[in-house]
Amino acid sequence: MEALLTAINSKYEHTALGLRSVAAWARARGHKVALIEDSINSLPLAVLDRIMKNLDEETKAAGFSVHIWNKNFVFQLAALLKKLRPDVKIVLGGPEVSYEPGKIFAELPAADFIVQGEGEEVFCELLKFFEGKNALPPHVAVRTATGVLPGRGGQAKVAELSLLPFPYPDLAQAVAEKRILYYEASRGCPFGCTYCLSGSERGVRLRPLARIEKELRLFAEAGAHLVKFTDRTANSRPDFGDLLRFLGELDCETCFHFELKAELLTEELLEIFSALPPGRVQAEVGIQSTCSAALRAIHRSNDWPLLAKNVKALVAGGKVHVHTDLIAGLPCEDYASFEKSFDDVYSLGAQQLQLGFLKVLPGTLMRAEAKEHGLIFTDQPPYEVLATKYMTYDELAFLKKVAAVFEQVHNSGHFKATLNFLTKQQKVGAFSFYAAFTRWWCEHAYYPQRHNAKSTAEILSRYIEEETEEEVKEEARERLRFDVFCSFPSWRPDFLFWRADEEFAAVGAFWRNIEEVRRYLPAYAFTSWRGIKKRWPLELFTVDPFTGERGRFWYLFDTEEERAVQVTSPALP
């Protein structure tokens, strides 16, 4: 074996597209290259043992891809490996080492070579160099006896993406292990955001649609559960509508995830999205901010009226799970303007809103402008901002707490009716509710622990009892009961009051009238009382969870279809 590549992912279920592509390119050109994948959650010595067992006497190089999530882990591995096998060349690549090779060589004396930029072609040329078949290739920095020789020509790029081989020779195994499969239909980005490494490269290189469709069909036929496109702006390609139609026609359960620029969504594309099978596509829309000064500072432009219109249409279509992104700590955005950005984006109604924090990455224009904006950030990955000229440390630290609480409560998707009601009680914006709720959460020592959804339901119940006004308390309770009823149909916690058992005679009369039941469940057939209770739980509410109207409202939840249906029957007064 000529070389061993090691990918350290942030989670076990992830796959390392970058090193998989490098390995596939090398193998297609006759090189003997092996690849192992692990995660930062493993013990370093256990991963080292895997590496040592995969090396042989002919191995000339050990390659590692370095990212903000794995830098320290990889550097520890590389240093240990060098002690055990000093004859093996340590080759680093990836975004975390490509831009400052001199600094990296100083941090890691064990490193011998650094591939700068896209590694497929460069790594193959480096293997030939090790064999004495050619000179040191451009785009490779090397440690020499007298210092560091940087690569020539900046960051390497693969000009013709159609030549990239399929990176999943182990597809069946990856699917069986329920791994997330990453895929790229393009490289580059049409935009120039200063905080993003992709922003340094203007222009987009596209893979041919026919090739993309062929490989996506392989994923679908293999039964992949999630394929995530790494393209920064998937809908910037002119044939994106054709790609969506193709995905809609597949006979599969695979979900495909895209990052989209909302302003580029045409009426035609929105119609295609609305015609997709439910769950076939997830859409991530990076909004980042609605503060015009912040957007100018990061060289980004958002057409807010068009963006809002398109995201709302995407959500209203009901077929696509929509995920929006905000970044806290951007230049020129203070706490007040961030609060407005949050409220603006929250109002779009996406299923998830990801609250992230600015990372001042090496190689970005943001890093070069850090002093201008007073950016104070961590020296080690992920280089996350701690304070800025516009936002204090205390303000950003509080937003970190808001983000943690928001992730467990809102982004879990389990408490939609409850949160819709509680946020509207504030009357000044959703952020004011989540800020107040976060302070209460912290005062009760629920932070920084992680809580599962059922524990979060109990925390919400306590908040309602302690913090809501008496005149709205019942409606808040009933909405929380409805959320629990839909999210956990077989769970009946004591801290919520359940009424169906008290209406035993009425419930029994309803289920015995098969013709009546089939108005709501056309394929209904009696099995057993236990089976009915498990398959179709039925519950009485004193407040309609959708309208807020007071009265008696019976709801049936279909656990297989995952839908709640209001039942109006003479048997259920």
Instruction: For 358-370, give the DSSP string.
Output: -B--TTSHHHHTT
DSSP state of 135: P
Mark residue 324 as left, alpha or beta (left: phi above 0; alpha: psi -120 to 50; beta: remaining). Answer: beta
Domain that holds residue 372: 168-391
Residue 546 and residue 410 share a domain: no
The residues near 42 (Cβ < 8 Å, ≥ 6 apart) are: none
For 333-387, how does the pLDDT look when each residue is reduced to its tens digit (9 = 90+)? 999 999 999 999 999 999 999 999 999 999 999 999 999 999 999 999 999 999 9
Residue 386 and residue 396 share a domain: no
Q: How many domains does the chain divide into?
A: 4
Angle in degrees, CA 563, 566, 571, rounded to 5? 130
354 domain-assigned: yes
Task: Compute the distance between CA of residue 186 and CA of residue 230 in angstroms, rounded to an integer.
Answer: 8
Single residue among 429, 453, 488 that ends a domain in this structure:
488
- Per the CB < 8 A criterion, the answer to whether 395 and 434 are in contact is no
Angle in degrees, CA 280, 284, 287, rounded to 5? 155
For 56-107, how does the pLDDT look when each residue is reduced to its tens digit (9 = 90+)? 999 999 999 999 999 999 999 999 999 999 999 999 999 999 999 999 999 9
Residue 336 and residue 270 share a domain: yes
Residue 516 and residue 433 share a domain: no
For 522-545, how does the pLDDT look when each residue is reduced to its tens digit (9 = 90+)? 988 888 888 888 899 999 999 999
Residue 532 and residue 461 share a domain: no
296 domain-assigned: yes
Residue 313 and residue 226 share a domain: yes
Tokens coding 39: 């995660």
Q: What is the dihedral of CA 427, 432, 433, 434, to 10 degrees?
A: 150
pLDDT of residue 232: 92
Tokens 């942030």, residue located:
10
542 domain-assigned: yes
DSSP state of 39: E
What does the mean pLDDT of the chain come to?
95
139 domain-assigned: yes
Task: Compute the distance between CA of residue 304 and CA of residue 453 in angstroms, rounded to an integer.
Answer: 33
Closest listed residue to residue 474, CA positions, set 548, 412, 557:
548
- Per the CB < 8 A criterion, the answer to whether 141 and 97 are in contact is no
Single residue among 488, 517, 539 that ends a domain in this structure:
488
Residue 398 and residue 387 share a domain: no
Residue 513 and residue 371 share a domain: no
Single residue among 391, 411, 439 that ends a domain in this structure:
391
Task: Compute the distance between CA of residue 405 and CA of residue 117 in angstroms, rounded to an integer.
Answer: 37
pLDDT of residue 200: 66
376 domain-assigned: yes
155 domain-assigned: no
Q: CATH number, domain at 214?
A: 3.80.30.20
Residue 355 and residue 220 share a domain: yes
3-state DSSP: the chain helix, strand, coil percent, rounded to 5? 40, 20, 40
> What's the length of the chain?
573
pLDDT of residue 316: 95
Could you list the beta-strand ranges (E) of 100-144: 113-115, 140-144
Task: Compute the distance between CA of residue 37 and CA of residue 8 in angstroms, rounded to an integer.
Answer: 6
Residue 191 and residue 266 share a domain: yes
pLDDT of residue 22: 98
Tokens coding 142: 């090397």
Q: Mean pLDDT for each consecutive 10-residue tract of the chain (573 residues)? A: 96 97 97 97 97 95 97 98 97 95 94 96 95 91 79 86 96 97 95 84 89 98 98 95 98 97 96 96 97 96 95 96 98 98 98 97 94 97 97 98 98 96 91 97 97 97 95 95 94 90 87 92 86 91 94 94 92 89
pLDDT of residue 114: 96
Q: Report pTM.
A: 0.93
- Per the CB < 8 A criterion, the answer to whether 521 and 536 are in contact is yes
In this structure, the strands spanning 140-144 and 113-115 are antiparallel
- Per the CB < 8 A criterion, the answer to whether 486 and 557 are in contact is yes
Residue 230 and residue 247 share a domain: yes
307 domain-assigned: yes
pLDDT of residue 69: 94
Residue 340 and residue 203 share a domain: yes
300 domain-assigned: yes
- Per the CB < 8 A criterion, the answer to whether 7 and 36 are in contact is yes
